[in-house]
Structure 1
Amino acid sequence: MNRFRMKSLFLFLLLFPLAGTTFLSPKQSAASKPDAMAGTILPKPGPAKFVQGVPDSSELRQYRVAGHVLDFQSGGIIVASGSHALKLEFLNARSVLPEPSEPVKDSREAPQLGKVTYHDLWDGISLVYEKTESGVVESTYYIQPGETKASNPVDQIRLRYNVPLKVDASGDLVLSFTTGEMRETQPVAWQEVEGKRVAMESEYRLLGGREVGFTVRGYNPRYPLVIDPVLRWNTFLGGLYSCDNSRGIAVDADGKVYVVGWSTESWGSPVRAFTAVADTFVAKMDVNGVLLWHTFLGGGLEDFGYGIAVDTGGNVYVTGLSYSSWSAPVRPFAGDWAEAFVAKLDGSGALQWNTFLGGLYQDVGYGIAVDTSANIYVVGVSAASWGSPVDLFSGNTDAFVAKVNSGGVLQWNSFLGGGSADEGRGIAVDTGGYVYVTGYSGATWGWPVSGNSGPFAAKVDSGGVLQWNTFLGANGAGIALDTSGNVYVTGYSGATWGSPVRPYTRNLDTSVAKLNANGILQWNTFLGGDGDDEARGICVDTSGNVYVASASTAAWGSPEWPFAGDQDGSIAKLDASGVLQWNTFLGSTGWDYCSGIAADTTGNVYVAGEGYATWGSPVRPFVGGPNAFVAKIQDIPCVVPTLTSLAPSSATVGAPGFSLVVVGSAFVDRAIVMWDGTGRPTTFISSSELNATIGANDLMVGKSVQITVRNLDYGISNALEFRIKNPVPSLTALLPSNASAGAQGSNLVVTGSAFV
């Protein structure tokens, strides 16, 4: 998340329309698209001419990204698609040719954007445009250290757009077209001062008409400054008068996002129509948060979706609760009350089959998982026995676990619990077909590894036979596995338990626990502050980092995005040892919460929840409350570099400045060479070499200096010693050079060089 380069200033901005933002006027629906842009909209540029790595006389470089064409010219850029075009001019800037990171090939088709740089566009300022993983274009301003003609180098940056501008209440720059809006995210800034992160206030500065600059308050040009939006995108799902709630989220290998929840009225253009009262909805979004399709599942009464999973073929599986039969179920609706349902959709949202699980009384499916053979596993709660259970129903309510094959046929079901109230909430399955569940029990059962009642975790084999169960000190809300078979459980607790890594605070705290494959507690920790914090979901990435989604009623930690008010969704990252890495809040000044969380393999985290007001810069707008929301957060993994040598490794006091060659491994673009903990201007040569500028002022005193490298994510290397040596003096004359025996004492003048 934290992007860092050793320059005196680093401005990082996202242009969200290139992430697939829909252009909507107040009178247009989400499905409508403008046919043309009027007034100030420019025509779509024609194809560029390329001559073996050198642009033609138009000084133009043209690239494609996320359905748009980008024209980079010496005086600005144009961002265009078939329906809109945005022109951006650099004012009071030098005439600088855009330079690509790779040679331009002789081709009639514009290539995909990589990186384009305008070197020294303003005095001491370079500008870089580059494509990110998610297809959003980043614009990055670098202000070099040292004196510039401007008293404040930031004031030199002046941009003119071809459309009207405003800054909204959230600090985003809004570009107003006749058919809708584009947005550039609010900058977030901090400086590194003596090894500590110091927050800076930064904002857009409207300069009149259609011109804009930046204001960074408290900027000290002696130290690096970072301006970095964290949130990649957020979007809302739902209708104007509907109550819309998202409960579960999943992501496939291509980064597409799937969400399940429920709505109380129809919205959009669903694959399967809304029926009545409340229906389960399922929605699919692309990597940029653009809605691809959504559908409704349900009958003539209420239906609620709680859990979702996706297989390697892009098929989607959901579970929840239905109060009446619908479609043509594989296993019929059997009770007078609600029953758990399972449904399979293909990658286009078409229903493949649905089935019901349960008996005469109420049954609810809360969690769902799918294995590599497309077998489906469901956890929930039942108020009576049903099926031919592996372990019998005990009474009151029991947690249930069920296995359904890829055709929707029940393979087995089993009950977990004692004579009191028990329910299952979260489920996960490993590559060996073992199933892990979590929930809550009012009395002991099984042969617990520890404890005798309360929140539980349990392991069941591929035939439904209980392997172990254990009791924990917090209500079980979600469960996840790492690649080594360790089990992670989250919930919430009103009191401390175990030997927590981070202590319990007060009221309700989110609780996270790690168990080994045998159910033995490895560690537990608490997340929260003075309010109530209730966990709703958990996931683990391929590196063993743990992400937890909660609802919080007060601020805590050192959040990347601040607490907004009332109740916010809360996201936290822990390392494999349970140590908090970061936390952030998502939401408005109203009532918001996160209910589901998922991670992909490239450092992105996805959350689903509900909000009662708009926030962020949503891809699909908030239209009335509450609406379901989905958000994507980028988490850049920590890469720790290693130093092996310095050239030179020493200098003498008073020597002129020089370029220090730092050799090692795992250096990243934007890495910084640190001189006794303070950054020095750094040039990235390769992943094994950096060049740092050492000034003459650094060589005024003889001493040993510790050289380290800090990557953009704050991964810090080992240290190597650089010695500043005092020079060896040389004598050339003495005055006087002799004296008579018995003469009076006098001053001796010693002449030479390299005295200190």
Structure 2
Amino acid sequence: MSRTLVLATLTVVFLGMGIVPCSFRGRSATFDACHRGIALGPAAGFVENLGQWPDSLRFAAARDGRWLHVVDGALVAGDHGRALRFTHGGAAAAMHGVAPRSWRCNFLFGPDQAEWVRGARAFASVRIDDVAPGIDLVVREAIDGGAFAYDLVLDPGADAGALEFTVDGASRITVDDASGELVLDVSGSTLRQSAPIAWSLDAGGARVPLVCRFELRAADRFGFLVGCSDPQTARVIDPDLRWATCVGGTAIDDGFALGVARNGDAFVAGSTQSLDLATSAGVFDPTYNGSIPTPRVVGDCYVARLAASDGRLLWISYLGGVENDRLVACDAIGDDPILTGWTTSLDFPVTPLAFDTSHNGTGDGYVYSGGDVFVTRVTADGTNLVWSSFLGGAMLEYPTSMAVLQNGEVAVSGHVHSTNFPTTPGAYSSARRAFSDAFVTRFAADGSALLGSTYFGGADGEEYPFAMAFDPQGGMVIAGATDSNDLPVTPGAWDTTFNGGSLHFADGFVARFDPTASTLTWSTYLGTPSNEYPRGIAMESDGSMTLTGAIDGPGLPVSQNAFDPTHSGGFDGFAWRLSADGSATLSATYVGGSADDIFERCAPLGGGRVAISGSTLSADAPRTRGALLSSPLGANDGWLVVLSSDASSVDYATLIGGRFGDRGLDVRQAPDGALVTAGTNYSPDYATTPGTQTYRGGGDAYCQALAALPLGVSRHGAPSGACARGARVMARSGPFVGEPRFELSAGDVPTASPALALVALGVLAAPLPLLGIDVWVDPNSLVVSTPVLVDARACAHLPLAVPATSGLAGATIAVQFAWLDACPGYVLGASDAVRVVIQL
């Protein structure tokens, strides 16, 4: 078994990969000409030396005048002549490229064609064997975008401390006590390497966080000090990214929506104009279906399945007809992806027994975009359609949101112009009130019939229900934006008065319908004097919900301890928690910086915590310590935020993307707690993980999975108990020395039942069965069993403020929650467990 140490990132900017073969002309007899040649061509990865450069230069990568050379005995990096050299012990160590790219590079030097070099391969990384006993070094593209990084791969028993790096030209090396970064004074410049992040792999392959830090050896030398652990177990020092991939072809591909299967595989879906998606043999639609530009090309839809373990593409298929097809939302029922969008294609694939097998008309959809709604369920292996149906009237309609139940029922909501849109007997509203309305429609599990369908809206404006969810009673809740001053609202609702606004999306709204769409249970504006529009909804087990979206001014009814009580500039993201009956605001906060920040879809994490996808233009948008990407790389970055249950803190926030436009659009929580997020990126330097697809051009979808727990906290075991609540432990902030806000919690715990936190020094390799639950913390090292508070949101809390004592670094505890449950009778319930390692 090996162990990997992923260490600090070199301060060398690297601008992504092209997708075409690269050819360079001119002489290349020197290192200077080497990086000049690569920089003039498309970024090509780590290009092997087939004789185009001096023999000592084994691989090279460069862009924009900044370059990195892998040479015998060193990594050499520099910018306009300022060289930074990291030396290692093996001057003649074997090295080889890893993960070859799909193109070759040609070097056409001088008039003599005999000296030309063709077909040089490019690689995602380079591995150098035995730079110290039992230690290999891997140079790669960094996870955080434009920089390079180096990893150390250790054999069992190898000592990380045996490896030493020398920085040529360094006048001084220090370690920043606050951040843990390595600070290097080199040739009059100050360079920084981010602090290493570490964990080990236990016998089952689970991650166990470790302490790792830089160690100064001399004025120009440094190494690494790794905390105590079993030397025969695998160790990893890396960000918390599990995998990252692009999805798409060489034209425009959007990553609009995301679903997660029962086994954790991710379904990514969107729209594409690429004729060359890497479709798999046997999928139901392997070829692009064409599009008619009326008035503009939209293209086909697609859906792809990605492996939970590493993000590998398992299959991808087109979905569409000869005209335009647009994907809007995706989810999963069991292991089947289910999709909705709109189509102008009369030959869009539908199944014989579906509710509606004929296209109903597009009307002015050619002008405004739209056509008929489609709802399509695909088999888990992508080879066939379970069912597929049209939905619509003679004019245009398009869906804006979707929700599913695991019994197979699916509801869609959207925007409708048709006066003959299908409604069901007894519907809340069977007639359109204005130029356009919202619609809410529920399909039977086999797609053959409608269980409920209604119009909804005011007579004075338009409604756009961008978010939808089923509540615990099976009711349908929609949320979105409206400019109607007479939207139907109900007595006792939070806000019964239109608040105004200067834009088309003037006020937010939230409305709940019964399962048959025959009764408007409650409805409220969700507005301020500014413009706001909800884009996401996270439904809790008690029926309360968090709405996420964007707002461009003051007036949000922020809670007393809100993370950010004031508007910061442009559009800010907002999170607004509403009671189950729509009568009260439970919490609300702004989240943003000085420019535009947009929250999109969100996912409930239990106990009121919520993960939010989005995008930001703000250099000062909130990010947290240990973020995957903490510095903006482009004009617009994707954004992932985890907000505490009371909206008082951002537990985690990271940027996502590269040096060009990136937009986060959807996020889900996988069964193992990982956060899976997807969106659209236009950054050739978006960093993917080995074995996944890289950026192909024109704009691709991206998808990545991150551990849901912060650095220093790792999951162990699984929830248990007769009530099958599935309560998982979550963390607020991180277990850093001097962190007063660190707290563990478990969601979906009965509010009226006593609960305990079991705190021990270790975990068990196999659970100990006890009175119907599985105990995962080691009872032989039990430190305390302490009562804990369960709040009104069904969340149990264990505050664990970490003293500002550096000697605590590396200390480990294990925590599991248990409680008395009442379904059926009085039985025990328990969460999974976590191991906590205190970090510097």
TM band (smaller chain): 0.5 to 0.7
Tell me how far apart the structure 2 counterparts of residues 575 and 521 of structure 1 sit (CA, whole Å).
16
TM-score (norm 1): 0.62
Aligned equivalent of 1:136: none
2:454 aligned with 1:414:
yes
Structure 1 pair 684–491 and aligned structure 2 pair: CA distance change class (3 A): closer
Aligned equivalent of 1:586: 656
Tell me how far apart the structure 2 counterparts of residues 524 and 644 of structure 1 sit (CA, whole Å).
33
Which of 356, 362, 367 does residue 396 from structure 2 map onto? 362
Matches of residues 656-671 of structure 1 in structure 2 within 5 Å?
A: 664=783
Q: Secondary structure at the match of 1:679?
A: helix
Q: Which amino acid aligns with 2:428?
A: D
Q: Secondary structure at the match of 2:255?
A: strand
Aligned equivalent of 1:351: 385
> What is the deviation of 1:222?
10
Structure 1 pair 79–484 and aligned structure 2 pair: CA distance change class (3 A): farther
Tell me how far apart the structure 2 counterparts of residues 543 and 490 of structure 1 sit (CA, whole Å).
17
Whether contact under 8 Å (1:307, 1:366) holds in the other structure is yes
Tell me how far apart the structure 1 counterparts of residues 684 and 611 of structure 2 sit (CA, whole Å).
24
Aligned equivalent of 1:626: 699
Structure 2: tracts of 5 or more residues without a match: 9-17, 23-49, 51-92, 100-122, 136-152, 168-173, 183-191, 197-213, 229-235, 292-298, 364-370, 499-506, 710-729, 732-741, 745-756, 762-779, 787-799, 817-833
Whether contact under 8 Å (1:334, 1:358) holds in the other structure is yes
Aligned equivalent of 1:554: 618
Matches of residues 39-50 of structure 1 in structure 2 within 5 Å?
A: none
Whether contact under 8 Å (2:472, 2:543) holds in the other structure is no
Aligned equivalent of 1:462: 515
Superimposed CA distance per residue, residues 207-241 of structure 1 (whole angstroms, 9 cap, x where no aligned partner): xxxxxxx999998999999964233222111111x
Whether contact under 8 Å (1:673, 1:679) holds in the other structure is no
2:418 aligned with 1:384:
yes
Q: Which amino acid aligns with 2:488?
A: G
Whether contact under 8 Å (2:403, 2:470) holds in the other structure is yes
Aligned equivalent of 2:159: 121
Superimposed CA distance per residue, residues 453-499 of structure 1 (whole angstroms, 9 cap, x where no aligned partner): 32111111111121111111330211121222221111111112212
> What is the deviation of 1:564?
1.0
Aligned equivalent of 2:633: 564
Structure 1 pair 494–662 and aligned structure 2 pair: CA distance change class (3 A): same
> What percent of counterpart residues are identical?
20
Superimposed CA distance per residue, residues 236-283 of structure 1 (whole angstroms, 9 cap, x where no aligned partner): 11111x211011111122110001110013223432022112011111
Matches of residues 124-135 of structure 1 in structure 2 within 5 Å?
A: none
Matches of residues 43-192 of structure 1 in structure 2 within 5 Å?
A: 89-93=129-133, 118-119=156-157, 121=159, 154-155=164-165
> What is the deviation of 1:620?
0.3
2:640 aligned with 1:606:
no
Tell me how far apart the structure 1 counterparts of residues 345 and 636 of structure 2 sit (CA, whole Å).
34
Tell me how far apart the structure 2 counterparts of residues 295 and 482 of structure 1 sit (CA, whole Å).
33
Q: Which amino acid aligns with 2:487?
A: W
Aligned equivalent of 2:548: 490
Which of 497, 519, 539 does residue 452 from structure 1 map onto? 497
Tell me how far apart the structure 1 counterparts of residues 701 and 758 of structure 2 sit (CA, whole Å).
48
Superimposed CA distance per residue, residues 653-693 of structure 1 (whole angstroms, 9 cap, x where no aligned partner): xxxxxxxx9972599xxxx99886222575769879xxxxx
Whether contact under 8 Å (1:673, 1:710) holds in the other structure is no
Structure 1 pair 424–674 and aligned structure 2 pair: CA distance change class (3 A): closer
Which of 561, 568, 575 does residue 505 from structure 1 map onto? 568
Q: Secondary structure at the match of 1:234?
A: strand
Whether contact under 8 Å (2:813, 2:835) holds in the other structure is no
Structure 1 pair 483–223 and aligned structure 2 pair: CA distance change class (3 A): same
Tell me how far apart the structure 2 counterparts of residues 679 and 116 of structure 1 sit (CA, whole Å).
26
> What is the deviation of 1:582?
2.1
Structure 1 pair 664–614 and aligned structure 2 pair: CA distance change class (3 A): farther
Whether contact under 8 Å (2:598, 2:614) holds in the other structure is yes
Q: Secondary structure at the match of 2:441?
A: strand
Structure 1 pair 202–374 and aligned structure 2 pair: CA distance change class (3 A): same
Tell me how far apart the structure 1 counterparts of residues 195 and 804 of structure 2 sit (CA, whole Å).
34
Aligned equivalent of 2:362: 336
Q: Secondary structure at the match of 1:360?
A: coil
Whether contact under 8 Å (1:371, 1:430) holds in the other structure is no
Structure of higher CA gyration radius? 1
Whether contact under 8 Å (2:423, 2:455) holds in the other structure is no
Q: Secondary structure at the match of 1:310?
A: strand
Q: Which amino acid aligns with 2:305?
A: K
Aligned equivalent of 1:712: 837
> What is the deviation of 1:92?
4.3
Tell me how far apart the structure 2 counterparts of residues 343 and 478 of structure 1 sit (CA, whole Å).
22
2:303 aligned with 1:233:
no
2:178 aligned with 1:202:
no
Structure 1 pair 712–245 and aligned structure 2 pair: CA distance change class (3 A): same
Whether contact under 8 Å (1:203, 1:215) holds in the other structure is no
Q: Secondary structure at the match of 2:256?
A: strand
Whether contact under 8 Å (1:311, 1:371) holds in the other structure is yes
Q: Secondary structure at the match of 2:837?
A: coil
Q: Secondary structure at the match of 1:296?
A: strand
Structure 1 pair 447–228 and aligned structure 2 pair: CA distance change class (3 A): same
Q: Secondary structure at the match of 1:384?
A: coil
Aligned equivalent of 1:250: 259
Structure 1 pair 254–191 and aligned structure 2 pair: CA distance change class (3 A): farther
Superimposed CA distance per residue, residues 576-607 of structure 1 (whole angstroms, 9 cap, x where no aligned partner): 11131121111111111111111123331111
Aligned equivalent of 1:66: none
Q: Secondary structure at the match of 1:229?
A: coil
Whether contact under 8 Å (1:308, 1:368) holds in the other structure is yes
Q: Secondary structure at the match of 1:623?
A: coil
> What is the deviation of 1:347?
0.2
Tell me how far apart the structure 2 counterparts of residues 260 and 341 of structure 1 sit (CA, whole Å).
14
Aligned equivalent of 1:128: none
2:518 aligned with 1:518:
no
Aligned equivalent of 2:288: 274
Aligned equivalent of 1:311: 333
Q: Secondary structure at the match of 1:569?
A: strand
Tell me how far apart the structure 2 counterparts of residues 250 and 222 of structure 1 sit (CA, whole Å).
41
Q: Secondary structure at the match of 1:426?
A: strand
Q: Secondary structure at the match of 1:541?
A: strand
> What is the deviation of 1:155?
2.9
Structure 1 pair 405–202 and aligned structure 2 pair: CA distance change class (3 A): same
Greater shift in the superposed pair: 301-310 or 607-616: 607-616
TM-score (norm 2): 0.56
2:435 aligned with 1:396:
yes
Whether contact under 8 Å (1:610, 1:628) holds in the other structure is yes
Tell me how far apart the structure 2 counterparts of residues 630 and 238 of structure 1 sit (CA, whole Å).
11
Structure 1 pair 86–202 and aligned structure 2 pair: CA distance change class (3 A): closer
Whether contact under 8 Å (1:537, 1:550) holds in the other structure is yes
Structure 1 pair 86–366 and aligned structure 2 pair: CA distance change class (3 A): same
Tell me how far apart the structure 2 counterparts of residues 522 and 554 of structure 1 sit (CA, whole Å).
28
Q: Which amino acid aligns with 1:322?
A: T
2:369 aligned with 1:324:
no
Tell me how far apart the structure 2 counterparts of residues 227 and 431 of structure 1 sit (CA, whole Å).
41
Whether contact under 8 Å (1:265, 1:276) holds in the other structure is no
Tell me how far apart the structure 2 counterparts of residues 78 and 489 of structure 1 sit (CA, whole Å).
50
2:722 aligned with 1:677:
no
Structure 1 pair 684–492 and aligned structure 2 pair: CA distance change class (3 A): closer
**Count of aligned pairs between the two proteins:** 526
Q: Over the residues paired in the alignment, what is the CA RMSD in angstroms?
A: 4.5
